[in-house]
Amino acid sequence: MRAGPEGERRGLSRRGLLGLAGAGVVGAGAGAGTDRAAMALASGATPASTVHPFYARHQSGIVTPAQDRLHFASFDVADITRAELVELLWDWSDAAARMTAGRSAGEYGPVDGPYDAPPEDTGEALDLPASSLTITIGFGPTLFTALDGRDRFGIAARRPDALVDLPAFPGDALVDTLVGGDLCIQACSDDPQVAVHAIRNLSRIAFGRAALRWSQLGFGRTSSTSRAQATPRNLFGFKDGTANVKAEDTGLVDDHVWVSPGDAASWMVGGSYLVARKIRMTIETWDRASLREQERVVGRTKGTGAPLSGGEESTAPDFSATGRGDAPLIDRDAHVRLAHPGANGGAMLLRRGYNFVDGNDDLGRLNAGMFFVCFQSDPRRQFIPIQQRLAENDAMNEYLRHVGSGIFAVPPGARKGSYVGATLFGD
Amino acid sequence: MSPRPSALTVAAVLCVLPLTACTANAPAGGDASAPLAVTSSADDCTVDAAEAPSGPLSFSVSNDTDQVTEFYLLAEDGLRIVGEVENIGPGITRTLTVQARPGEYFTVCKPGMVGDGVGRKAFTVTDSGAEIQLTGDLEAQGEKAAAEYVAYVKDQVGQLVTATRSFADAYRAGDDDTARSLYAPSRAHYERIEPIAESFGDLDPKLDFREADVPEGDEWTGWHRIEKDLWPPAAAENGGAEYTPLSAADRARFADLLVADTQGLYDAVHDEAFEVPIDSISNGAVGLLDEVASGKITGEEEIWSHTDLWDFQANLEGARVAFDGVRPIVEQKDGELATRLDARFAALERQLSAYGSLESGFASYTDLSTAQVKELADGVNALAEPLSTLTAVLVG
């Protein structure tokens, strides 16, 4: 495959546009190079908008300081060949590299293509800066082995052992239409329109090769992934992610987030495993719980986020501390106790969840909660045992329903002139 | 039903009724009078004013020690506790709100939770003219309510034992029609006192877990295990798998377990040490409405028999009994709340009665339209929202 300018390969799928337009028509604006970055500058928007490079050793959107908005999408791959799947990953990577740099999804952009062709880019991000956009691509278990057992793309033997099917957890209330997927894309940005623009255009690029299975919008990151970020609050009104793995803890990140050299699935080295759970909160009953009950369930104060054993937000919880009648200050079933690495053989997760409100349900209740996203080097040692413990005992379960679920292998980042997945499928 | 501990288990009795107050949220915007700052240090207990006008009075207690501390507002005799806040971890700030009458008081902190405390200081509440109701014999009323509620629980569990035996006998004998007709009416006794049953952490999972609540590797037992066998699902509703009816031996085993675990509940509530503190009664009432809101109104509780409205009715009756028991106290402390709750209970009871009664039977959950379910859900919210303030009123 040839690399084009800026490391982007000329997308074969762009042939459709050129073919349609015909050689004589292309002149309308092709090559004018109008793109989002330029427009943003021209319209006086801040050039300071952060750009997270797409081509890097690790995919961005993992240890990247959590942006404020999310659009997550899971895809089913159509009945296509391995070569066509690779083609899709090339096209996605090219478009992702452009969009994360603040440019349009394709080279002609929203307004510079042939006048009689639909614009190559949908345009809603035309005047917006990069807005810290990251695009993170993952592979679900069914990409390797279809539900009917078929090895559609000749990669079944390379499915990593760590990419297990998630077990059923007690209390699961999963909805079929919110589960699984062959591919996923996590788009995060500080501007919701930029994140939506990314998923919209990547979905469009995929038509005929992959189709949206389920997707989720999120707002108000519920975790901080950098010490530079304040701890945000989830829809329970509590600070969330205080004890999260932070990007600055490079040792922890290497141990708990990235697949290390020497792993049996060598193509995953530098990658990570993403588990997503759509967790509905029963907001109405939570709001009727006393402050005493809410703090008991969480194990932290609602105001400052300090553990109930004392101190301030960053103070390590003292699970042995007792109060009146020798009762533990942090309840035996408190979320902070059960989720703590100490209760889980040291296992930690890099959490990257977002709040969601999808309107309301038929009963007039807010359809709201947390879209929980976490990254780890091995879900068999991290998410699964932690969630098992939480699902059985967490006092918070009374106010939660897990309705959606997915697990994906997130390969390492692409180098310039290549694509995400090259370590699996080859260049 | 819910695999989770109810609000009841939280309660660990906090306040001696009715002279004490529990922590309340600090006024956020500063529209209410700002709380007085209290600092509990190793050898002192400073309050940033020695005097305050009568009416609602808040203390924001910060723990500057390295031990767990408590703060007390004591009456003029230096003994009687007017308000307290306990279990304040080092560095934590918690708020105490009381309805203070004019008079002389003492404030004191108790780092380490032992001894007479440190930093005892005189505190004066001046007469602001605010009217504060007399407590009268509220304490006696609280004890009476608690005793009556315990008697109610024992009576319901007693009836549950009898009803469960009949149900189990019919099921064990293969008389499925009889078993199906006894299922929902028998469970009503359980549903009326569900938060109490849930407070015994090991019993509710054995008796009332739904299939999805059971951890992998654990055996699923109890009411809903048998429910599924009596109303066997089609393969499509059973995750695609054909449902295999239980063998006669398994039937006998699950029936025996149900009877034995129900007896376990009977023994637990007849234990001499069994008591229900006043705040557990009110929290239990809220818990019952939460059960309705999260399980019955969604049809998730009785997923095979669709007898959710029976459970709904029983939960509602249990909540009503709990409220009626403490109502005399509520009436004195917050007459408006008592009146509002009367009206909301009546409205929801009326709404539900359109679908049947425990005596004549209820409509199947699946016969209700979405609009009808939403109406009921709105009624539950209308009652549960004011009901959720009951505990704070009782102990405040």
Task: Give A318-386 as a DSSP string.
Answer: -TT-B-GGG-BSS-TT-HHHHHSGGGTTT---EE--EEEEEEE-TTS-EEEEEEEEEEES-TTTTHHHH
Q: Which residue has the higher pLDDT, A243 or B352?
A: B352
Measured between CA atoms, how close is A104 to chain B, in angstroms?
44
Q: Calculate the CA dihedral of residues A98, A103, A104, A105 and round it to 10 degrees.
A: 10
* Contact list, A332 vs chain B (CB under 8 Å): none
* One fold for B19-126 and B138-395: no
Residue A249's pLDDT band (cuts 50, 70, 90): confident
For chain B, 396 residues long, give each residue's pLDDT as a single digit of tens. Answer: 444 444 333 333 333 333 333 333 333 333 346 889 999 999 999 999 999 998 888 999 999 999 999 999 999 988 888 888 999 999 999 998 888 889 999 999 999 988 889 999 999 999 988 776 555 577 788 888 999 999 999 999 999 999 999 999 999 999 999 999 999 999 999 999 999 998 887 899 999 999 988 888 899 999 999 999 999 999 988 888 999 999 999 999 999 999 999 999 999 999 998 988 888 899 899 999 999 998 899 999 999 999 999 999 999 999 999 999 999 999 988 999 999 999 999 999 999 999 999 999 999 999 999 999 999 999 999 999 999 999 888 887
Q: What is the CATH number of domain B138-395?
A: 1.20.1420.20
* Contact list, B7 vs chain A (CB under 8 Å): 289-290, 293
The 10 Å CB-count burial string (b at 16+, else e) for B152-172 is: bbeebbeebeebbbebbebbb
Sign of the C-alpha dihedral computed for residues A99, A101, A106 and A108 taken in this order: positive
Alpha-carbon span B69 to B64, nearest angstrom: 9
Measured between CA atoms, how close is B55 to chain A, in angstroms?
22
Pairwise CB contact (< 8 Å): A310 & B92: yes
To probe the interface with B, which of A148, A280, A286, A292 has the most B CB atoms within 10 Å?
A: A292
pTM above 0.95, yes or no: no
Alpha-carbon span B213 to A226, nearest angstrom: 36
Residues 6+ apart with CB under 8 A from A300: A238, A239, A242, A306, A307, A308, A313, A336
To probe the interface with B, which of A336, A365, A398, A403 has the most B CB atoms within 10 Å?
A: A398
Measured between CA atoms, how close is A287 to chain B, in angstroms?
9
Pairwise CB contact (< 8 Å): A363 & B214: no
Question: Of A171, A304, A324, which is closest to B3 when you measure between CB atoms?
Answer: A171
* Contact list, A289 vs chain B (CB under 8 Å): 7, 388
- What residue type is A283 in one-letter code? I
To probe the interface with A, which of B1, B2, B4 has the most A CB atoms within 10 Å?
A: B4
Helices B223-230 and B138-172, packing angle to 10 deg = 40
* Contact list, B378 vs chain A (CB under 8 Å): 364
Which ipTM was obtained for this model? 0.80
The pLDDT tens digits for A33-50 are: 444 544 444 333 333 478
Alpha-carbon span A94 to A338, nearest angstrom: 42
CATH 3.40.50.2300 at B19-126, yes or no: no
Measured between CA atoms, how close is A66 to chain B, in angstroms?
29
Alpha-carbon span A422 to A135, nearest angstrom: 16
Domain ranges of chain B: 19-126, 138-395
The Cβ-side half-sphere exposure at A3, using a 13 Å CA radius, reads 12
Q: Name the residue of chain B whose CA is nearest to A327's CA.
A: B12
Strand boundaries in A36-182, DSSP class E: 69-77, 134-139
Mean pLDDT along residues A250-255:
89
Pairwise CB contact (< 8 Å): B294 & A322: no
Decide if pLDDT at A298 tops 50.
yes
* Contact list, B2 vs chain A (CB under 8 Å): 397-398
